Structure 1
Amino acid sequence: MRNIHKIILAFSVSSLTLGACTDSFLDTEPITDLTESNFYRTPDDAYKALVGCYDGLQIIWADGVSFPVASEILSDNAFGGTGASDGFGYQMLDEFDKNRSPADQDLFGANWDAYYRAVYRCNVLIGKIDQINWTGNEALRKTYEAEARYLRAFLYFDMVRLWGNIPLLTEPSSGNVPQASPEEVYKVIAQDLKFAADNLPATSYAAQQANTRGRVTKWAAQALIGRVYLYYTGYYGKPDLAGVVTQAQALAYLEDVVSKSGHGLVEDFASLWPASLAKYAGEDNKETVFAIKYTYTSDYNGNTDGNHWLVMLGMREQYSFPYGNGWGGATVNPELWQAYSANDTRRGASIISIAEEKIKFVNQSKQREYTGYYNKKYTPLVDETGKSIAVSFGATNFMIGQFQDYTAIRYADVLLMAAELGSPNAQAYFDQVRRRAYKDKFTSLAVSKSSLLQERYLEFAYEGIRYWDLLRQGVEVAASAIAETTTVLNGGATATKTISAAKITQTRGLQQIPYTQITLSNGVLKQNAGW
């Protein structure tokens, strides 16, 4: 674990990052001792505000339900899991059924607040960018604006996928704003990403300074354009991305990443993940196009820097070196394990198999929806004595001190998206990804839409991508793939688990808007169907 190095990008700037504590609709305005008359004057002021934007991104999943965890539970990769005596909020998500946990009317409440606070920070900086004196630093102006606009787009892309019709704020406001149409939101996302892609410097991965790892790059913006394009045009059945980006343009951006970014695939798939221990390629390796950075310095005194959601995915209250204990959320669907060929190295690198690894797991009585499989890509780690690696680094505890980054975009995704969008190099890109997975057992498979989607299923399991890949094929396709009746162990006892396709189609795959927000809006916000 010595090669896990943390670069603390989002340091605390108290006057810029403290959130308000009063209850009001879209409570997003930060408490600050600085005013418009004495701040936003210099590039240094802008940099501090930009750090506040990154900090806002870092904490969107510190409470509530994290987007990566929710995305897996909603998909066919995982069940809700958690403890045998816990509430049924994760089952409500997994089964798209509010009757599974009627009291959970604000499951995403903390996330809604955190997303809008983060958007607020971006909006403030973007709105003040012109009043700063950039003399002698003109290049920084576009760079800082591009980073802030990328972050805003990233935030809105999460939000519009989760909730569909959401309030759209492009300037600082805490008003009672009605929901915008998805097309309006996607237009802002597309414009922001296009600005970022066109204005960030074309610095290759090798040339990027180590102390800037984690910041938005041109390549991250270009890659995210591809992802947004595929989702929007697929889910909504549109010919282009909100009239801003065509298919040809989306592909051109991705091809630019391939040819100019310097990113590439690491040699061994397992080395992408910390559980590979000495083989770990490290954070910010050449395959990481964009990641949300975490550190082990979270505490209960206002520092929220850690990966607070990782503990949800650990084995229920039991460690087995190198895997640490956690809360047993998002237990792996056995169908995912079975989908891999025995020759596919990604299977053992992605999933902890209790039987295959001969783990003496004795806590079935404490685990809901036990399947015999847990997530390996994102899991707490311990040393051989059972001590949390995070605590060894100085973390407050193993719950809030986890520090594994969330890799939001990998280069493998760039290759597969480019292939899907019709690159003339589609077969070569497809083969690159599969050759790494199968090594000397590799045999070529003809690239096609169906083979690409199957490959994405195997390549990106437990990375928060699968659910959205299903939805962009159509709600009915997603419902058919996710729905099932199977058997799990609840507290050690056999139980039947049913996910209904009708529930998924009723909700259109969208999630519950927090009822607190609907109440605070005096009914201006409307709840999504099925919730």
Structure 2
Amino acid sequence: MRKKEINRFPKLTAICMLILVGLCTSCKDLLEEEPKSLAVEVFYKTPQEVESAVNAIYPPIRTQMAEYVATLECHSDFLYGRGSWENISLYQGFNDTNTGRVVPFWNGFYTAIRNANLVIANSPDGAAYDSYKAEAKFLRAFAYFQLVRNWGAVPLRTELNMEQRDLAKSSVDDIYAFIEKDLLTAEMGLKPVATAAGRPTSGSAKTLLADVYLQMAKYPEAAAKANEVIQSNKYSLIQVTSKANIQDNIFGPTVNNSPEEVFYFKFSRLTNEGNYLLFIVNHPSTGLFGFPGAYAVHGNKTNPIFVNWNANDLRKSLYDNINFGLGANTLVTSKFVDKLATTNRTAGNDNTVYRYADVLLIYAEAAARAENNVSPAALEALNKVKRRAYGYNPAVPSVVDYTAADYATTPFLDLIMKERVYEFAFEGKRWLELKRTGKASELVLANKGKTILPKHLLWPIPLGEIDYNDALDPVTDQNPGY
């Protein structure tokens, strides 16, 4: 007997997954889901059956996004964890208390991959099914993108080997090549406009592909894909003039299909269909969340990132100074608000995977790296994000714009990183950026005063995977330091 029969790819698990999971339905008209009992040994018969199978890809990712984002933020040089997250932000590695934080992420991403493989393998050919298979490949690529950045080399399970129990790890390069291929197919098969709220579009695929190319250091390709999204004129930044505008109009619980949305995981105020992140980060004293928060991820006023942040930047106002037992300098975010939430999982705020601000900053960095120069277009993309943050019209030049004098003294790429840490705090991006740019050790030491070891750059392969998969050696295939 195996030590652990974890959720891999046996047929019984596959069938059960199709009939038990559902992507959320809500007053926001999210994806309509009516899962059916479908045999995986034969092709699905109708577009409705394929759609139900596609919908089953979402929940294993969506339901864990809040804790995934929180865990990534605890690793960063800006935010800190409390309780079982504390050791992560202290760079003491994983132990019996906190290793359980990352095992569900591995299992969830692979469950989503398994479900995507079922769609790709068992859907009929024809125009009626192309967009569904493209959607499955987009989600599979998204899942592998998370796996490879956090765990490195991992088993590459596809529709061709999903019945194979024992599978060796594929190289990082092979995994990225597979992701790229999936996204190129998804880009061609997805529609420019979402068929339902929460479904990816061709713009979603281009944006994810641009991010993947940036990770792969394929800068001309990253710039080109991001620019295609910009030139489509389908997206724009929402103008804001106050803290409340940011809370309500960009991240609010009733926002749906905003011009800034490129790809979001959708949530609603229905029971157990809300965004759990609000419970993780809010503090009860603020009254911003209708249920007592856990304030488990927080900031600190003495962190140099916060100290050096211009007070006129509206994004800085999204932090409340609350001493809940960790000292007078403790900060709690007010970025996500839902006063009408009644439980820890009834906040209606969506999980913002890719916003138009992502597209602009990906383009600015990729173009500058590709051209080894700061073009007017790259500078304008960066300035649009900064203008909005200071309450100006993003499309009109302003007094807060970066100029040639700014990047003559501070490298342009550092200015982009500064805007990213301000713009995307509590969205799970900073730690992955620090690793990608090779600045994790430098900036964690500078901003948190902590020294990180090479082992902290990758998460441990779950023991359940090593126990189950005989193609993995428990010594040589485990990530270094675990």
TM-score normalised to structure 1 length: 0.74
Paired position in structure 2 for 1:514: 462
Paired position in structure 1 for 2:413: 449
Residues 253 and 350, structure 2, Cα contact 8 Å, conserved in 1: no
The separation in 1 between residues aligned to 2:328 and 2:267, in whole angstroms, is: 29
Paired position in structure 2 for 1:196: 186
Paired position in structure 2 for 1:180: 170
Pair 1:341 & 2:305 matched: no
- 2:57 is paired with a residue whose SS is helix
- Give the letter for the 2:331 counterpart: Y
Paired position in structure 2 for 1:13: none
Residues 106 and 513, structure 1, Cα contact 8 Å, conserved in 2: no
Alpha-carbon spacing, 1:461–1:519, altered in 2? closer, same or farther (3 Å): same
Alpha-carbon spacing, 1:217–1:57, altered in 2? closer, same or farther (3 Å): same
Kindly state the Cα deviation for residue 57 of structure 1 after the two structures are TM-superposed.
2.9
Paired position in structure 1 for 2:286: 320
Residues 275 and 345, structure 2, Cα contact 8 Å, conserved in 1: yes
Alpha-carbon spacing, 1:436–1:513, altered in 2? closer, same or farther (3 Å): same
Alignment of 1:286-325 (within 5 A): 286-299=259-272, 305-315=273-283, 318-324=284-290, 325=292
Paired position in structure 1 for 2:443: 481
Residues 343 and 441, structure 1, Cα contact 8 Å, conserved in 2: no
The separation in 2 between residues aligned to 1:485 and 1:431, in whole angstroms, is: 25
Matched-pair identity in %: 25
- Give the letter for the 1:215 counterpart: R
Alignment of 1:354-393 (within 5 A): 354=322, 363-364=324-325, 371-378=329-336, 381-382=338-339, 389-391=340-342
Pair 1:466 & 2:418 matched: no
Residues 72 and 429, structure 2, Cα contact 8 Å, conserved in 1: yes
The separation in 2 between residues aligned to 1:156 and 1:465, in whole angstroms, is: 16
Which of 217, 230, 242 is equivalent to 2:214?
A: 230
Residues 210 and 222, structure 2, Cα contact 8 Å, conserved in 1: yes
- 2:101 is paired with a residue whose SS is coil
The separation in 2 between residues aligned to 1:215 and 1:292, in whole angstroms, is: 9
The separation in 2 between residues aligned to 1:430 and 1:321, in whole angstroms, is: 34
Paired position in structure 1 for 2:228: 256
- Give the letter for the 1:41 counterpart: K
Residues 254 and 349, structure 2, Cα contact 8 Å, conserved in 1: no
Q: Summarize deviations over 1:242-263 as a string: whole Å, max 9, x none.
A: xxxxx33322221111111410
- 1:283 is paired with a residue whose SS is coil
Pair 1:108 & 2:102 matched: yes
The separation in 2 between residues aligned to 1:133 and 1:161, in whole angstroms, is: 33
Paired position in structure 1 for 2:70: 69
The separation in 1 between residues aligned to 2:164 and 2:71, in whole angstroms, is: 27
Kindly state the Cα deviation for residue 293 of structure 1 after the two structures are TM-superposed.
1.1
Pair 1:285 & 2:258 matched: yes
The separation in 2 between residues aligned to 1:128 and 1:277, in whole angstroms, is: 39
Residues 213 and 221, structure 2, Cα contact 8 Å, conserved in 1: no
The separation in 1 between residues aligned to 2:244 and 2:399, in whole angstroms, is: 19
Q: Summarize deviations over 1:197-220 as a string: whole Å, max 9, x none.
A: 1232334xxxx56xx121000111
Paired position in structure 2 for 1:24: 5
Higher deviation after alignment, 170-179 or 460-469: 170-179
Alpha-carbon spacing, 1:416–1:343, altered in 2? closer, same or farther (3 Å): same
Residues 291 and 406, structure 1, Cα contact 8 Å, conserved in 2: yes
Kindly state the Cα deviation for residue 340 of structure 1 after the two structures are TM-superposed.
1.4
Paired position in structure 2 for 1:161: 149
The separation in 2 between residues aligned to 1:297 and 1:460, in whole angstroms, is: 26
Paired position in structure 1 for 2:356: 411
- Give the letter for the 2:275 counterpart: N
Residues 165 and 182, structure 1, Cα contact 8 Å, conserved in 2: yes
Higher deviation after alignment, 118-127 or 101-110: 101-110
The separation in 2 between residues aligned to 1:278 and 1:262, in whole angstroms, is: 19
Kindly state the Cα deviation for residue 25 of structure 1 after the two structures are TM-superposed.
4.5
Alignment of 1:75-114 (within 5 A): 75-82=76-83, 89-98=84-93, 101-114=95-108
Alignment of 1:266-277 (within 5 A): 266-268=238-240, 270=243, 273-274=246-247
- 2:188 is paired with a residue whose SS is helix
- Give the letter for the 1:214 counterpart: G
Long gaps (5+) in structure 1: 1-21, 83-88, 234-239, 241-246, 300-304, 355-360, 383-388, 392-397, 487-497
Corresponding residue pairs, total = 429
Kindly state the Cα deviation for residue 283 of structure 1 after the two structures are TM-superposed.
2.9
Q: Summarize deviations over 1:221-258 as a string: whole Å, max 9, x none.
A: 1111111111232xxxxxx3xxxxxx333222211111
Kindly state the Cα deviation for residue 102 of structure 1 after the two structures are TM-superposed.
4.3
Paired position in structure 2 for 1:437: 389
- 2:286 is paired with a residue whose SS is coil
- Give the letter for the 1:146 counterpart: A
The separation in 2 between residues aligned to 1:103 and 1:27, in whole angstroms, is: 24
Alpha-carbon spacing, 1:107–1:282, altered in 2? closer, same or farther (3 Å): closer
The separation in 2 between residues aligned to 1:459 and 1:93, in whole angstroms, is: 23
Alpha-carbon spacing, 1:284–1:274, altered in 2? closer, same or farther (3 Å): farther
- Give the letter for the 1:372 counterpart: T
Higher deviation after alignment, 191-200 or 115-124: 191-200
Residues 198 and 263, structure 2, Cα contact 8 Å, conserved in 1: yes
The separation in 1 between residues aligned to 2:384 and 2:96, in whole angstroms, is: 47
Alpha-carbon spacing, 1:128–1:309, altered in 2? closer, same or farther (3 Å): same
Residues 313 and 375, structure 1, Cα contact 8 Å, conserved in 2: yes
The separation in 2 between residues aligned to 1:127 and 1:376, in whole angstroms, is: 44
- 1:53 is paired with a residue whose SS is coil
Kindly state the Cα deviation for residue 271 of structure 1 after the two structures are TM-superposed.
6.0
Residues 275 and 322, structure 1, Cα contact 8 Å, conserved in 2: no
Higher deviation after alignment, 290-299 or 191-200: 290-299
Alpha-carbon spacing, 1:480–1:369, altered in 2? closer, same or farther (3 Å): farther
Higher deviation after alignment, 515-524 or 268-277: 268-277
Q: Summarize deviations over 1:117-136 as a string: whole Å, max 9, x none.
A: 1111000001112xx264xx
- Give the letter for the 2:389 counterpart: A
Residues 435 and 442, structure 1, Cα contact 8 Å, conserved in 2: yes
Alpha-carbon spacing, 1:323–1:42, altered in 2? closer, same or farther (3 Å): closer
Alpha-carbon spacing, 1:298–1:90, altered in 2? closer, same or farther (3 Å): same
Superposition CA RMSD, Å: 2.8
Pair 1:332 & 2:284 matched: no
Residues 266 and 272, structure 1, Cα contact 8 Å, conserved in 2: no
Kindly state the Cα deviation for residue 308 of structure 1 after the two structures are TM-superposed.
2.9
The separation in 2 between residues aligned to 1:202 and 1:309, in whole angstroms, is: 29
